[in-house]
Structure 1
Amino acid sequence: MRLLCLSNGHGEDAIAVRICQHLQQLPSSLKIVALPIVGEGQAYIERGIPIVAPTQKMPSGGFVYMDWRQFWGDVRGGLLELLWQQFRAVKAFAKEGGAIIAVGDIVPLFFAWLSGAPYVFVGTAKSEYYLREELKTFHSFKRRWEGWSGSVYLPWERWFMSQPRCKAVFPRDSLTAQVLQQWSIPAFDMGNPMMDDLESLTPESAYLSGEKGILQGRSLSVCLLPGSRIPEAYENWQIIISAVAGIVETFRDRMVSFLAAIAPGLSLDPLQETLERQGWRLKSAQYLSAKLPISDSTALVYSQGKYQLILTQKAFADCLQAADFAIAMAGTATEQFVGLGKPAITIPGKGPQFTYAFAEAQNRLLGPSILLVETPKLVAQTLKYLLNDPDRLQLIAANGLRRMGKPGASRRIAQCLIEKLG
């Protein structure tokens, strides 16, 4: 069988690749190709999955829905011509036989429907948690308006999911699957692939739950997540380091370390410049041989007095596993951190991704695990609040698992996909 992966974003590409890896391990003769609608599909390239149509980085980075000016910038950059070429490639694939797995939002779903081929949909962008809690009651007027059709998925999106050629839909959480099933949509609760491949490579995670130590005065570890989009991530980093300065000032009686999980596509130079302006100093090469809480011997280690800050572009999972809390201005990375049962403090930025609107929507998606503050100065105060509220920490631990699910979703989706596509 031939399978085409359609995805529209860096995170969506990574999810598609995880599912493909498990498909390739199953006893079935699959020929897998890909079409990343947004970006160049580096995740596919690294795994040796052929790309069947032209790709191109757009000025918006894929966030055209947040600002019409971003959209027009993409149009001037060749968006419409690119989409036409990609559509023709999808139609050509469908004529030769095979099936499609669409990962992301309505864009790849729409492409899959237009193709004429059988398809499955992995919905990563929407969740009923944006509108309601487990009791399925709408809250504010804003949420009732956003959910006017009875679901976070709009009627035309549900129509694409309910067509005979749509063999399966894999929503991102149990609540969304339950709601979609009300419209006779073949929705299956297989979990969220975002939580796969997050195992730490260090012998033992440094994270301890409230009753095991962080409330009793042991050292704290804070993960720093500035996002991956250039140049927004560099601006986010300056905001995050301002928050770090507040923590250093507030927690003078306690050891605090900071683990910065930096996307491989970012340059470390602007990040280092910001640290040096704030009084952080790079440790000597001799210190780098000392045992670190992450599995990256090339990490850069900074110090300011008794405090330590580690920059790594290779140990993302280790940072998430080792940290107690996060200061986050990211999308997928924040969700993954919360899915490990840990609290994330978020600060709105200038965008185009991590704006106040995005942060507020993320807050609704992830519930009590997210603490949204207006300014960096409020981060240290919020951290103190969490340390004084063990009940909130317990609630957050349970909430993360419920909203993001257990690991293994990619394998479960791959197995179900083979069954449904025959």
Structure 2
Amino acid sequence: MHRILFISDGHGEDWVAAQIASQLTRLSAQRDLGALELRALPMVGDGHSYERIGVPLALTTRVLPSGGFTFKTLRGLWLDLRSGLAGYGAHLVRSVRGLADWADLVVAVGDILPLSLAWLTGKPYLFVGCTKSDYYTEGAYSCYFPWERALLHPPRCLHAFTRDRITCRNLRLHRVPASYWGNPMMDGLEWDDTHQPPRPEGTFIGLLPGSRPGEAQRNLLDMLRCLEAVRHHLGGPVHFEAAISAGLGLESFRRQAAPLGWQDRGEGRFERNTTAVVLRTDNFSAVLHRAHLLIAMAGTATEQAVGLGKPVITLPGRGPQFTRRFAYLQRQLLGDSVRIVDVAPARRPEAVAGTAADLIKDRERLRQFARNGYERMGGAGAAGQIAAFALDQLPRRVRGGTPQSRG
């Protein structure tokens, strides 16, 4: 029996870890390696991504008021401290130490927080750095601080896997054993349209309001205020569809849309005057693949849309995640595929509509978005390769050879 513990610290990080866990299960069965037991410790959130693929949670975790962005703003830190952040942090440390005897290998996904907890276990660990990128520093130097790089060296850290080539290159300059095999964020997005209804005639626009309770509802309301202007500006049929996180449900969105004049027509369809939008919780990959353009106020989902070659319009929000600062940092990370509409709320509908028309009508620019998306986000397949490397470590319990990086 081999046991692997996953530690992650956010919705997107949970997604990435779940893709690797799913591939571990598949490859273990193919290789006939015997029993493999997986557990997950999602430090922030409900762990829905893990539960969806049948990986049990190692302990009950909490949803913090900041949505996991404790140290991004003073307000987020204050809210989390008031809700018992210090006690919760101590609980996580005690729990991880208690799990140390159980685990043979730890996979830390995210940033310094899961990386530190992996180190505290005293067990060998892999690190998947899906949040930090040297695109933020324009490639000039490593975005990983010296104390983070200290946790990425052997023998305890078996290997680090980065989200892009330039981050891998700069970590290697600091003698960190790192590889870039693609971005596991792009795994798990497969969509088979064989048995699906055809894409509606006209323009299909997807809405990605994010996954954090409270914030996602506010974000969607900001988007809804723009839809009539977008439809009038584009002309012809325009189909709007929102991908709602399964953990949020639709009821809270329904309650908040009603005061804006949106009438519930059933089955997730809402109408206001002659504009309609569909809200669903089971359509994420379909929306990404079918959309000609997306309006997004999300983290991982925006990155995945760009990775699929889609143009994205973002609106700076009220946080805790999708603030003005976050939007501009995301634009720096993802390049020209993202357009930020940063105007006064009263001017936003017309500005969004004009930007949408500009993006959709320029065919050469659409081809550029596909190239940029692959450069910034890579292709699918990294989760399977990271899982294969993890399995190779289990019989020996020590690192066996450095994998060949594509970066």
Change over 3 Å in CA distance of 1:207–1:119 after alignment to 2: farther
| Contact kept? 1:205, 1:322, Cα under 8 Å | no
In the other structure, the counterpart of 1:19 is: 20
> Match of 1:348, SS?
coil
Q: Deviations over 1:221-261 (max 9, x none)?
A: 1101111212111211121112212212312x322111111
Greater mean deviation of Cα atoms: 153-162 or 79-88: 79-88
Q: Which amino acid aligns with 2:218?
A: E
Change over 3 Å in CA distance of 1:279–1:50 after alignment to 2: closer
Question: What is the CA distance between 1:40 and its match in structure 2?
Answer: 3.5
Query: Aligned to 1:349, which of 317, 322, 329?
Result: 317
Change over 3 Å in CA distance of 1:342–1:56 after alignment to 2: same
Q: Which amino acid aligns with 2:187?
A: D
**TM-score scaled by length of structure 1:** 0.84
Greater mean deviation of Cα atoms: 346-355 or 6-15: 6-15
Question: What is the CA distance between 1:327 and its match in structure 2?
Answer: 0.6
User: Distance in 1 between the 2:324 and 2:251 partners?
Assistant: 27
In the other structure, the counterpart of 2:172 is: 181
2:149 paired with 1:161: no
Greater mean deviation of Cα atoms: 176-185 or 386-395: 386-395
Query: What does 1:103-182 align with in structure 2 at a 5 Å threshold?
Result: 103-132=109-138, 136=139, 138=140, 150-182=141-173
Q: Deviations over 1:334-391 (max 9, x none)?
A: 1111111011000101111110001011101100110011132311111122234333
User: Distance in 1 between the 2:102 and 2:286 partners?
Assistant: 43
Change over 3 Å in CA distance of 1:50–1:271 after alignment to 2: closer
Question: What is the CA distance between 1:200 and its match in structure 2?
Answer: 2.0
User: Distance in 1 between the 2:95 and 2:264 partners?
Assistant: 50
Percent of residue pairs bearing the same amino acid type: 40
Aligned residues: 383
2:231 paired with 1:219: no
Which consecutive unaligned segments of at least 5 residues does structure 1 have?
Answer: 139-149, 209-217, 286-298
| Contact kept? 1:53, 1:85, Cα under 8 Å | no
Query: What does 1:317-328 align with in structure 2 at a 5 Å threshold?
Result: 317-328=285-296
| Contact kept? 2:292, 2:360, Cα under 8 Å | no
User: Distance in 1 between the 2:182 and 2:326 partners?
Assistant: 23
Q: Deviations over 1:389-409 (max 9, x none)?
A: 333222111111121111122
Greater mean deviation of Cα atoms: 345-354 or 274-283: 274-283
Q: Deviations over 1:318-346 (max 9, x none)?
A: 11111000111111111111111011000
User: Distance in 2 between the 1:70 and 1:315 partners?
Assistant: 31
Greater mean deviation of Cα atoms: 7-16 or 362-371: 7-16
Query: Aligned to 1:242, which of 225, 228, 248?
Result: 225
Q: Which amino acid aligns with 2:128?
A: V
Change over 3 Å in CA distance of 1:80–1:277 after alignment to 2: closer
Query: Aligned to 1:80, which of 83, 86, 89?
Result: 86
Alignment RMSD (CA, Å): 2.4
User: Distance in 2 between the 1:354 and 1:97 partners?
Assistant: 35
Which consecutive unaligned segments of at least 5 residues does structure 2 have?
Answer: 397-407
**TM-score scaled by length of structure 2:** 0.87
Q: Which amino acid aligns with 1:180?
A: L
